[in-house]
Each structure stands twice: as structure tokens, then as C-alpha cells.
Structure 1
Amino acid sequence: MQKASNGTRAGSRPEDPTGRKAGRTVSRQVLADHVYEELLASLMDGRLEPGAAVSIDGTARELDVSPTPVREALARLEHTGMVRRVALKGYRVAPVFTREDFADLMEARLAIEPVNARLACARLNPHRLAELEQTVTDLKSAPRGPSFAEYKDYLEADEQFHQLIAQQTDNQFLVGAYAALGGQVQRFRLFGGVGITDAENAIAEHQSVLDALSSGDPEKAEAAMAAHIQKVRERAMADAPEE
């Protein structure tokens, strides 16, 4: 297809610097969120393989947006560890966690999240408890099909549960430490293969943590979270392919 003299595709609407096509009212943030979700789905479903290049211009054409929201989405994905920016080469899909990488991540989670649960339990208020109860309800009802579109809500409820506990510590440094770990959550999910394979066990463990928090016993909450993280580590190690 020939290009018009202004650099846009013939017959297409010109684009503005925010990433919108002329005549559209979609906000820049909405576009960036859409591109992020599309790229994340491709990564989580294995359609973009480790080491593969992610073209900004190619992705923009495929999703019918300008390069701006694609750059913003890739910057967010870089924070999660799912993609890496390589000098003079652009973005590439990050390699899957090695067993050593995964062991390091879980060691950090064991150092931080049980403490989060203990402090959160001591400072828990009825409003936050209701929020935690809702995330467990959402976790139980979320679909868990083989594609990311089908299990995305499950992952979001899972992440929200752990994030709420971190926030309830009321400690900015623990919140920041968890955020640094939480940024790797999607990449961690690929360590044991594509999809959700441990839902029933994970749901039961989240319920145990919630029950411990509800009991008002900080030590019980700490132990329940530690048991959950340890079991997640064991299941993921068992499911991961040999290196």
C-alpha cells in the first residue's frame, strides 16, 4: 500500500502526538492500558517467545495506534521484568526465570510477606478485612481457562490480596519492598509453564491466611502466609521444566 506524502498510510487518519487517531476521543492512558493488556496476553500465552524482538512500529500497526502508547506499555512491562530494553536493539522478551532466579524471588517473598501478614493482622480494620474477604471471593469465582484472557481475573485477585496485606502494614518501606517483588509476579507465573495449575491449593491457602488475619492472632497470620509461600515454591519447582 502506498503511503501519503505526510507519512501516514494512504486513506488513514492522521495521528496526534498522544497516540490517538484523529477523530477519536480515546484517552492516551486508555490506549496505553489497551496495548499493555494485548502485549501481556501475548507474553502470558506464549505467543511472544523468550528472546523475541518486540517492534514498537510493528505493534503500533497491528493494534492500530501510534507508537506512543506502545512505548508506554513496554516501559510498564519492563518494570515487571517481562521485557528488556537492549541498547541499539530495542525491546526483547525476557528469558524465563531460571531455577536460581525463582529461588531468589521466593526467598525474598518469604522474608517480606509473612512479616507483612503479622503487621497487617495487628493493624487490621473492618474495612480492609472486608476488602480481603472480597478478593478471596473473587479468587474463588474467577474463571481459570487455558488462555490469559480466561485467567486474568484470577491473577488480579491473587495479586490484590497480597497487595492489600502489604498496604495494611502501614509501613512505606514494606509497601515499597513488596511492590518491587510484585512487579515480577507475571514473569514468575511463567516459571511453571503457561496457565494456572494450582488454583484449588492456592485458594485454600489464601482462605487460611484470611482466617488467620480474621482471628486477630499476628503469629498465626505470619505462619499461614509463610506456609502459603513455601507451598507455592514447592508446586512451581515441581511443575517447572528441567534446565
Structure 2
Amino acid sequence: MATTRPPARQPLADQMYEVLLGQFMDGLWSPGQSLNIGALTRELNVSQTPLREALARLEHTGLVRREALKGYRVAPLFTERELIKLMDARLVLEPAMVQEAARRTTPEFLDELKESIEELRRCAAAPRSASVRPYWAADERFHLRIAAQCDNPFLESAYRSLGGHVQRFRLFTELGSSEAESPAREHTAVYEAMAAGDAEGAAKTMRRHIENAKARALTDRQAVAEA
């Protein structure tokens, strides 16, 4: 008689990474804020080893920085120049990825994109306190799914290498300060071009989406900096 193995237990360092990332997503940490390891170990009831491993992973994403003799600190806001360069990198990668993905669509792939758009739309209409984390998760899912579908591991790897920096920009964005519903409309335009098999049209709509996202990001960065 076959036996079912119990699910593998998630390593403690992975659990701490998810907890800390969740705290970032919930707005509990501010740009530049010090991360006191001693206080965190007491708050989370863990030893320093898994916590340090989790912080090292967050450092790799760009969300936190380690300073010699000072410990970890939440990364500061992007400068305007850094934000422009990040979005310019996405303008190079994402139209190329979506053009390739549009040539390889499947019903399952299109359904997954549609579900992420519907979730994004629901979150945009929900109270901010309950919607920030699922909003950005839905946004990320849309773009990552296209990266996987483009069937070019080099393009996908290049995009994923930006992941932590994109996440950093998202976490310190004031959701709602710019039109929260605009990304859902723009994702829909990309989806419709892909569903129609229009690879060039999909690339153009993705470029327009990233350019709009760049403008919104710069506006939001200014609002956060002033606050």
C-alpha cells in the first residue's frame, strides 16, 4: 500500500524571508530605516542565524543594505535617475518578451493572464489597507508569466535579475496616489493583442504600458519623498 509523504517543512530561514517580505509589503518598514537584529529575533522568536540568512536574501534583492559595523538598513528610495534607468531597462526587455510570448500563446497561458488582470482590477477597487500586497502580487504575476512564456531563457533571466529592484520600487510606491486602475486597463490591452495573435501590437502596447508605469512611478516617488 502506497503511503503519502507529509509535505516538506519550509526551512526557518525561508519562513523568516517570507515574514519580512510580508512586513515590507504591508508598509511596516520605511526607506532608510535601521533593522535591529536583536529586536527582530525577540519579535519573531527565532535565533539570529535564520534571520541573518533571510536578511542576506533580502540584500540580494536590493530591498535592504548591509553597512559595515552598523548592520542592516532598509534600502533608500530610488533616486530619480535610478528609477528612470530601471524603467528604461524594462522598456528594452519587456516588449521583446511579450512579442515572443505572443507567438506561443496557449489557452492556459491566456487564462492565467486574464486571472491576474481580474485580480488586479479587484484590488484596485478595494480599500488600500487590504489590497497592497495582492495588488502588486497580481501585477508581478502578469509580467513573470509573460517572461516564462517567451521561451527565451536569456531574456527571462535578464528580467528576473531586475525582480528585486522592481519589487523595491513597488514597495515604496503610494498605491492609489496615481491611478490604481490604469495598470489593469493597460494589461488588458496587452492581453487582447496577444489573444488576437498580434505579436507586434502586443509589443507596442507593452511599451506604452511601461512608459506609463515610468511616468506614474516618477510621480509616486515625488509624493513619497515629499511625505
Same fold at TM > 0.5: yes
In 1, the alpha carbon distance for the partners of 2:83 and 2:51 equals: 29
Q: Does structure 1 retain, via aligned residues, the 8 Å contact 2:123–2:132?
A: yes
SS of equivalent to 1:158: helix
Aligned mates of 2:188, 2:149 — CA distance in 1: 17
Q: Give the ranges of 4+ consecutive aligned residues of structure 1 lying more than 4 Å apart after TM superposition.
A: none
Q: TM-score, normalised by structure 1?
A: 0.79
Corresponding residue number in structure 2 for 1:135 = 116
Cα distance between partner residues in 2 of 1:150 and 1:135: 14
SS of corresponding position for 1:241: helix
The whole-number CA distance in structure 1 between the counterparts of 2:176 and 2:167 is 12
Q: Which has the larger radius of gyration?
A: 1
| Residue in structure 2 matching 1:85, options 60, 66, 78 | 66
Matched residue, 2:96: 115
Q: How far did 1:73 drift?
A: 2.2
In structure 1, the partner of 2:221 is: 240
Provide the rounded CA distance (Å) in 2 between the counterparts of 1:150 and 1:101.
27
Equivalent residue for 1:146?
128
Contact kept? 1:54, 1:92, Cα under 8 Å? yes
Question: Aligned match of 2:16 in 30, 35, 41?
Answer: 35
Query: How far did 1:172 drift?
Result: 0.8
CA distance in structure 2 between the aligned counterparts of 1:35 and 1:145, rounded to whole angstroms: 27
Identical residues among aligned pairs (%): 47
Structure 2 residue 38 is matched with structure 1 residue 57: yes
1:57 deviates by 2.7
Label 1:222 to 1:98 Cα distance change in 2 as closer, same or farther (>3 A): same
Q: What are the superposed Cα offsets for residues 156-209 of structure 1, whole Å, 9 maximum, x if unpaired?
A: 11101000101111111101111011221221124543x344321111001111
| Cα contact 1:116–1:169 (8 A) shared by 2 | yes
Specify whether residues 145 and 69 from structure 1 end up closer, same or farther in structure 2 by C-alpha distance, changes over 3 A only: farther
Length, aligned pairs only: 216
Structure 2: 5+ residue stretches without partners: 1-7
Q: 1:131 to 1:192 in 2, by over 3 A?
A: closer
Other structure's SS at 2:109 match: helix
Offset at residue 222 of structure 1 (A): 0.1
Q: Is the 8 A contact 2:63 2:164 kept in 1?
A: no
- CA–CA distance in 1 between the matches of 2:74 and 2:190? 34
Aligned residue for 1:184, secondary structure, equals helix
C-alpha distance in 1 between matches for 2:106 and 2:49: 42
Residue type of the partner of 2:197?
Answer: G
Q: CA deviation at 1:33?
A: 4.5
**Partner SS for 1:49:** coil
Contact kept? 2:94, 2:207, Cα under 8 Å: yes
Q: Which has the higher contact order (CA 8 A, sep 6+)?
A: 2
Superposed, 1:13-24 pairs within 5 Å as none
Comparing 208-217 and 233-242, the one that deviates more: 233-242
Q: Which of residues 204, 210, 216 is equivalent to 2:185? A: 204
Match among 97, 113, 121 for residue 78 of structure 2: 97
The answer to whether the Cα contact below 8 Å between 2:25 and 2:133 also exists between their aligned partners in 1 is no
